[in-house]
């Protein structure tokens, strides 16, 4: 037993903690530090040393605990006590004026409404719960109703108070659910990417992805090394304290130690709101972080309550989004890529440039005609546009910037991957490599086959597919199911563990819905939507494979081109053989067509434990396709509980309530019945 600690040491530890909390607040919330960074670091070191010497003095609220905790195996989920809604969007001044009129109409008022206008941070929404002033839980927004618990990660963010400040006039509520946006500043983002490139890791596409990826680390010690920051903008449930306005609430949050964006425009008229938007749009490029618009909120909390919310978004707030942004940069080269259908696509390599918050270094040029039409030459200065998540595009050439050294581009006459002569079909702008064995096409077909909307094989990255094809281990997508751990572990950058995970992911993808299966095949003109139409119409694959063109054309939404393509695909001996091989390796299709409403219409299922032959998402999808509802909690209304490995408390609950319990084999049976 260690002896009692010298009271002077206890007092010193207390003093250092208090001082560090205070300086944190000066730095992150008031943006007005009283001491230098070096001084702060020195105090932190001192405290660390004392806590190391006297481990009995450890406290979960100590500023030294921001370094991260041991890794988790997965994230728990938590229900938000009030749903985290999203916002309606406005795209022009008229939309905002219409919003103002709607608010007045619903409140039955003629007078000007008071608003608060805030920059819309482009980061990741989080909710933090404080009990008696202590941070107890932090979670992501998730689907708005339930999020993932990321407390250990959020605790590593310097700007997050581990304890609320008590100095404010409002006292400390028993419970506070505070909401905000976690983000990474632009400079910190650039530095982070430089570090990643040095360490041969793929750089993040933009600060938002970097922030999201950092928050979803199972190992919070990694999160601790990411330069995360946060601004708070609202609350869920808050006890004990009553505010009159949103602005008052923000002030209280600030006093409690939560950073609030200093650019927020409090208590303004709708005219001033529009003025603020113009200011923000102008300043947007100079801000140290990304914003994607402005949020306008009715300031009076009584009015907010009166206006209420739809299931999707509050009626008292709206997001005024910025327009797509355009930037100019130099087109350094044009590369020709071969797609899975053999189409050759010219892709522009651009001098990297930030466009609307993302680094852009490539843009599609579609085809030769498009290049001709826009007269795009290698070396040109071009205007690039990125709208939302869409692939960046070259809008036009800035011809006044030409020096005369620009070179015209011609599509190659042979496939850049296999050297086969290319063909151009009548009425089509694209040219094609028609070599069925072209390795570039094969690679793309396999990537498509494994992609999210298809077999959804986690861990099969593009580089790995390239390697597997180059080394002759994959000659068609059917070969994926033959891959084994030893072969995979021999690939570059593959450890035993990732090889093992991938083998499991492939194993787990073997049960698949009919529509995903059809989409995965990569039939020309059969995207996710058409695949669903086909899966709904045909009761089985053999039925589809032996149908006539007329039957296909009778399906609403399917015309002659698609029908031809489908018939052509299934007529090819080679494709039939590949499909046979896929089934031989244990793939099973879950059919969706059976009956109009599905076999399980009105039935409620709960999944618990680990499934072996499919992921939970796939099981959920298969059940929903068959008309069932999949719920997360067992109740008297549950019809079936599906118990996988290590099922836990839901199984117990099901037994108590007398709900039918089936295992994975039982589920398979039900699904294929
Ligand atoms: S208020 C009920 N204020 O935008 C309304 N949201 O589309 C809650 N966001 O999920 C949102 N900055 O992640 C609000 N100043 C701000 C915001 C903001 C960014 C994000 C937030 C939310 C999304 C809504």
Does pLDDT of 386 surpass 80? no
The predicted structure's pLDDT at residue 403: 93
pLDDT digits (tens, 9 = 90+) for 452-470: 889 999 899 999 999 999 9
From CA 491, how far away is CA 459, in angstroms rounded? Answer: 13
168 confidence band (pLDDT: 50, 70, 90): low
Is 210 part of a structural domain of the chain? yes
pLDDT digits (tens, 9 = 90+) for 503-524: 999 998 999 999 999 999 999 8
Does 304 share its domain with 371? no
Does 45 share its domain with 167? no
Could you identify the atom of ligand 1 that is nearest to the CA of residue 125?
Answer: 13
Task: Give yes or no for a contact between 86 and 321, defined as CB atoms under 8 angstroms apart.
Answer: no
15 CA distance to ligand 1 centroid (A)? 37
Could you identify the atom of ligand 1 that is nearest to the CA of residue 87?
Answer: 7
The predicted structure's pLDDT at residue 598: 63
Query: 527: which 2 tokens?
Result: 């995207």
Does 414 share its domain with 448? no
The predicted structure's pLDDT at residue 593: 67
Burial readout 491-501 (b: 16 or more C-beta within 10 A, e: otherwise): beebeeebbee
Does 330 share its domain with 273? no
Does 275 share its domain with 151? yes
Q: Strand 291-298 to strand 124-131: parallel, antiparallel, or no bridges (unpaired)? A: unpaired
- Domain harbouring 332, CATH code: 2.40.50.140
Is 411 part of a structural domain of the chain? yes
pLDDT digits (tens, 9 = 90+) for 597-656: 566 776 889 998 888 888 887 888 888 777 787 888 888 878 899 998 888 888 888 888
595 confidence band (pLDDT: 50, 70, 90): very low
Is 358 part of a structural domain of the chain? yes
Could you say which DSSP state residue 245 is in? B
Residue 73 vs residue 6, higher pLDDT: 6
The three-state DSSP-derived secondary structure of 321-384 is ECCCEEEEEEEEEEEEEECCCCEEEEEEEEEEEEECCEEEEEEECCCHHHHHHHCCCECCEEEE
Does pLDDT of 547 surpass 90? yes
305 CA distance to ligand 1 centroid (A)? 18
- Domain harbouring 654, CATH code: 3.40.50.10190
Does pLDDT of 556 surpass 60? yes
Query: 199: which 2 tokens?
Result: 């360490």
Phi and psi torsions of 261, nearest 5°? -60, 120
Is 1 part of a structural domain of the chain? no
231 confidence band (pLDDT: 50, 70, 90): very high
Number of structural domains found in the chain = 6
| Residue list, ligand 1 pocket, CB within 6 Å | 85-87, 118, 120-121, 125, 141, 181, 233-234, 295, 314, 317, 319
326 CA distance to ligand 1 centroid (A)? 25
Query: 332: which 2 tokens?
Result: 């350094």
Could you identify the atom of ligand 1 that is nearest to the CA of residue 292?
Answer: 19
The predicted structure's pLDDT at residue 387: 59
Does 113 share its domain with 220? yes
Among 287, 295, 297, residue to substitute to test ligand 1 (most atoms within 8 Å of Cβ): 295
Please list the active-site residues.
120
Is 43 part of a structural domain of the chain? yes
Is 82 part of a structural domain of the chain? no
Is 406 part of a structural domain of the chain? yes
- Domain harbouring 38, CATH code: 1.10.287.610
Among protein residues, the one with the nearest Cα to ligand 1's atom 3 is 233
Residue 323 vs residue 23, higher pLDDT: 23
Spell out the alpha helix ranges (H) of 89-235.
93-107, 151-155, 186-198, 207-215, 220-223
Domain that holds residue 639: 604-672
Closest CA to 127 of 211, 222, 237: 237
Task: Give yes or no for a contact between 158 and 215, defined as CB atoms under 8 angstroms apart.
Answer: no
30 CA distance to ligand 1 centroid (A)? 22
For residue 147, what are the β-bridge partners?
78
Does 171 share its domain with 306? yes
74 CA distance to ligand 1 centroid (A)? 27
Q: Pick the last residue of a domain from 15, 37, 67.
A: 67
617 CA distance to ligand 1 centroid (A)? 28
Does pLDDT of 94 surpass 90? yes
Task: Give yes or no for a contact between 402 and 408, defined as CB atoms under 8 angstroms apart.
Answer: no
Residue 33 vs residue 125, higher pLDDT: 125
Is 443 part of a structural domain of the chain? yes
Does 228 share its domain with 139? yes
Among 116, 145, 178, 181, residue to substitute to test ligand 1 (most atoms within 8 Å of Cβ): 181
Does 261 share its domain with 356? no
Could you identify the atom of ligand 1 that is nearest to the CA of residue 118?
Answer: 15
Among 91, 116, 120, residue to substitute to test ligand 1 (most atoms within 8 Å of Cβ): 120
The predicted structure's pLDDT at residue 41: 87
The predicted structure's pLDDT at residue 597: 54
121 CA distance to ligand 1 centroid (A)? 7
Sign of the CA dihedral with 347 first, then 351, 356, and 357 last: positive
Does pLDDT of 1 surpass 70? no
Among protein residues, the one with the nearest Cα to ligand 1's atom 16 is 120
Does 125 share its domain with 245? yes
Among protein residues, the one with the nearest Cα to ligand 1's atom 24 is 86
From CA 284, how far away is CA 291, in angstroms rounded? Answer: 7
259 CA distance to ligand 1 centroid (A)? 15
Residues of the chain with pLDDT > 90, as a percent, come to 63
From CA 240, how far away is CA 253, in angstroms rounded? Answer: 14
87 CA distance to ligand 1 centroid (A)? 7
Does 313 share its domain with 331? no
The predicted structure's pLDDT at residue 240: 85
Does 173 share its domain with 235? yes
Residues of the chain with pLDDT > 70, as a percent, come to 96
| Across 426-433, average pLDDT | 84
Among protein residues, the one with the nearest Cα to ligand 1's atom 17 is 120
Could you identify the atom of ligand 1 that is nearest to the CA of residue 119?
Answer: 15
- Domain harbouring 544, CATH code: 1.10.150.20
Q: Pick the last residue of a domain from 292, 320, 348.
A: 320
Q: Pick the last residue of a domain from 305, 320, 335.
A: 320
Q: Angle 77-79-82 (CA atoms, 0-180°, nearest 5)? A: 150
């Amino acid at each position: 037993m260690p002896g009692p600690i010298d009271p002077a040491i206890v007092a010193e530890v207390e003093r250092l903690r208090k001082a560090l909390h205070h300086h944190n607040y000066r730095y992150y919330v008031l943006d007005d530090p009283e001491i230098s960074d070096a001084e702060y670091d020195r105090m932190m070191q001192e405290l660390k040393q004392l806590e190391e010497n006297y481990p009995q003095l450890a406290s979960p609220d100590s500023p030294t605990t921001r370094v991260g905790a041991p890794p988790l195996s997965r994230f728990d989920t938590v229900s938000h006590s009030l749903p985290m809604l999203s916002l309606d969007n406005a795209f022009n001044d008229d939309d905002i004026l219409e919003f103002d009129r709607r608010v007045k109409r619903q409140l039955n008022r003629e007078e000007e409404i008071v608003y608060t206008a805030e920059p819309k941070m482009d980061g990741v929404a989080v909710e933090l719960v404080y009990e008696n002033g202590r941070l107890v839980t932090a979670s992501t927004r998730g689907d708005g109703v339930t999020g993932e618990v990321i407390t250990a990660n959020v605790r590593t963010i310097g700007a997050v108070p581990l304890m609320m400040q008590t100095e404010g006039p409002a006292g400390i509520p028993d419970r506070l659910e505070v909401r905000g946006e976690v983000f990474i500043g632009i400079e910190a983002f650039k530095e982070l990417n430089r570090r990643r490139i040095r360490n041969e890791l793929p750089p993040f596409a933009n600060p938002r992805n970097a922030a999201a990826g950092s928050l979803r680390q199972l190992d919070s010690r990694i999160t601790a090394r990411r330069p995360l920051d946060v601004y708070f903008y609202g609350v869920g449930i808050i006890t004990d304290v009553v505010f009159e306005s949103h602005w008052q609430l923000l002030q209280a949050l600030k006093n409690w130690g939560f950073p609030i964006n200093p650019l927020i425009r409090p208590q303004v008229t709708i005219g001033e709101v529009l003025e603020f938007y113009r200011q923000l749009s102008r300043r947007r490029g100079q801000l140290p972080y990304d914003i994607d618009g402005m949020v306008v909120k009715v300031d009076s909390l009584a009015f907010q309550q009166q206006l209420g919310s739809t299931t999707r978004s509050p009626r008292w707030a709206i997001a005024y989004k910025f327009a797509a942004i355009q930037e100019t940069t130099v087109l350094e080269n044009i590369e020709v890529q071969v797609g899975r259908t053999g189409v050759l696509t010219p892709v522009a390599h651009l001098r990297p440039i930030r466009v609307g918050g993302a680094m852009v270094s490539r843009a599609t040029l579609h085809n030769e005609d498009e290049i001709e039409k826009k007269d795009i030459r290698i070396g040109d200065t071009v205007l690039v546009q990125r709208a939302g998540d869409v692939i960046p595009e070259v809008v036009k050439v800035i011809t006044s910037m030409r020096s005369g050294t620009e070179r015209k581009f011609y599509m190659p006459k042979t496939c850049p991957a296999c050297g086969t002569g290319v063909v151009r079909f009548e009425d089509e702008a694209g040219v094609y490599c028609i070599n069925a064995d072209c390795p570039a096409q094969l690679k793309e077909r396999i990537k498509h086959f494994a992609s999210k909307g298809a077999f959804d094989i986690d861990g099969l990255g593009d580089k790995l597919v390239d390697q597997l094809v180059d080394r002759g281990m994959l000659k068609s997508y059917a070969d994926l199911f033959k891959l084994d751990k030893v072969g995979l572990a021999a690939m570059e950058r593959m450890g035993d563990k990732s090889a093992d995970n991938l083998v499991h992911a492939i194993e787990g993808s073997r049960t698949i819905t009919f529509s995903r299966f059809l989409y995965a095949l990569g039939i020309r003109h059969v995207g996710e939507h058409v695949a669903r139409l086909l899966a709904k119409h045909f009761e089985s694959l053999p039925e589809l494979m032996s149908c006539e063109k007329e039957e296909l054309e009778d399906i609403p939404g399917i015309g002659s081109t698609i029908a031809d393509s489908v018939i052509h695909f299934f007529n090819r001996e080679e494709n039939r053989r590949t499909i046979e091989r896929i089934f031989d390796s244990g793939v099973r299709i879950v059919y969706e067509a059976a009956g109009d409403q599905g076999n399980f219409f009105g039935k409620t299922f709960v999944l618990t434990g680990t499934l072996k032959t499919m992921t939970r998402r796939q099981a959920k999808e298969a059940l929903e396709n068959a008309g069932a509802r999949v719920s997360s909690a067992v109740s008297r209304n549950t019809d079936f509980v599906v118990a996988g490995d290590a099922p836990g408390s839901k199984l117990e609950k099901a037994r108590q309530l007398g709900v039918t319990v089936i295992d994975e084999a039982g589920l398979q049976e039900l699904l294929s019945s």
